[in-house]
Amino acid sequence: MTFTLPTGIHDRPVAVIGAGTLGRRIALMFATRGGLVRVYDKSQQAGDAARSYVEEHVAEVAAGIEGGTPGRVAITDDMAEALRDAWLVVEAVPERLDLKKEIFGRLDQEAGPDTILASNSSSYATGEFIERVSRPERVLNMHFYMPPQQVAIDLMSDGHTDPGILDLLKRELPGFGVFPFVAHRESTGFIFNRVWAAIKREALAVVAEGVSTPEDVDAMWRINMGLAAGPFRMMDQVGLDVVLDIENHYARERPYLPEGPRQLLRKYVEAGHLGVKSGQGFYAYDG
């Protein structure tokens, strides 16, 4: 089936499902063109934090985008309100397949007929959770990294995605300060994340085997690569529970992967040390 592409998108809102670390960052980028972004989350605390984050940073980020204008963010715990007249929905909920199937079943029923349904999933192809979707031609992966610092994103078809959607997004997304790259076949981890997964997995193995420490690995990375943060600091930013979920998914697909990195992650997660969001991960964080 073909999909009727949304029109008038510059006058219509974007909806983000999930107000967590990446959800609020995605909302920030879509609020840089002067329009409205609605963020759906059942947690008032998460919603308030997302609003504060966008409002704090949107003027600065919009100023760095050609034609950028600070927009607005609205927080709601009503899915129907979040989706009203949206031309695009980006799902950014935890990496649980059952949850994503449930969410996309609802989005398929409640979103407008010309709304594009995208998933920010970092490890699941959308083809894995569209069994309750009646119109898979409007679904795709749109995977963000950590905007506004990292603004390359992956686009990947669910196997049925209307090619016109990919063309539309390649044309329009740079106007929001993000730059899409299309995976030409289904790939767990998409493009860049497959490379990054190998790096973080080997960094974890070096520590799990007692060869080095997170601090020393990161220090060597900063010196040799000229970057501000090393793999362990970056994993703390993402959330060690999220990193573990992703590694478990890779391991189910590739049973030959070493167990040591996942054992190390489980030790931290089971202790409640999830990274920046819990105040303790491989490093301790104030506030």
Length reported for the chain: 287
Residue 188 is predicted with a pLDDT of: 85
Average pLDDT over residues 177-203: 94
Contact 30, 14 (CB under 8 A): yes
- Count Cβ atoms below 10 Å from residue 15 Cβ, excluding itself: 29
Q: Is 200 exposed, middle or buried (0-12, 13-18, 19+ CB in 10 A)?
A: buried
Share of the chain above pLDDT 70, in %: 99
Average pLDDT over residues 190-218: 96
Region at 279 (left for phi over 0; alpha for psi -120 to 50; beta for the rest) = left
Please give the structure tokens belonging to residue 174: 């740079």
Residue 262 is predicted with a pLDDT of: 97
Q: How far is CA 272 from CA 220, 230, 282, 285, in A?
A: 27, 22, 12, 14
How far from each other are the two terminal CA atoms of the chain, in whole angstroms?
50
Q: Which pLDDT band holds residue 1 (cuts at 50, 70, 90)?
A: low
Residue 198: is its pLDDT beyond 90? yes
Q: How far is CA 27 from CA 32, 38, 45, 128, 192, in A?
A: 9, 8, 16, 25, 22
Average pLDDT over residues 150-174: 97
CA pair distance 65, 217, nearest whole angstrom: 34
Which range among 26-30, 221-225, 232-236, 253-257 shows the weakest confidence by mean pLDDT? Answer: 253-257
Residue 114: is its pLDDT beyond 90? yes
Residue 110 is predicted with a pLDDT of: 97
Going by their DSSP bridges, the two strands 36-40 and 14-17 should be labelled as parallel
Residue 169 is predicted with a pLDDT of: 98
Q: Which pLDDT band holds residue 287 (cuts at 50, 70, 90)?
A: low
Q: What is the mean pLDDT of the chain?
A: 95
Residue 128 is predicted with a pLDDT of: 92
Average pLDDT over residues 220-234: 96
Contact 268, 282 (CB under 8 A): yes
Contact 75, 48 (CB under 8 A): yes
pTM summary value = 0.82
Task: Please name the helix (run of DSSP H) or strand (run of DSSP E) that holds residue 27, with its range, or none.
Answer: helix 21-30
Residue 39 is predicted with a pLDDT of: 98
pLDDT digits (tens, 9 = 90+) for 126-142: 999 999 999 999 999 99
For residues 241 and 3, which has the higher predicted lDDT (pLDDT)?
241
Q: How far is CA 106 from CA 131, 133, 207, in A?
A: 12, 9, 42
Residue 22: is its pLDDT beyond 80? yes
Average pLDDT over residues 19-31: 97
Q: How far is CA 230 from CA 233, 239, 262, in A?
A: 5, 14, 19
What residues does each domain of the chain span? Answer: 9-182, 192-278
Residue 118: is its pLDDT beyond 80? yes
For residues 233 and 287, which has the higher predicted lDDT (pLDDT)?
233
CA pair distance 58, 54, nearest whole angstrom: 6
Please give the structure tokens belonging to residue 131: 């069994």
pLDDT digits (tens, 9 = 90+) for 33-45: 999 999 999 999 9
CATH for 9-182 (3.90.1150.10, 2.60.40.420, 3.40.50.720, 3.40.50.1820): 3.40.50.720
Query: Which architecture, in CATH terms, is 192-278?
Result: Orthogonal Bundle (1.10)
Angle among Cα 170, 172, 174 to the nearest 5 degrees reads 80
Q: Which pLDDT band holds residue 149 (cuts at 50, 70, 90)?
A: very high
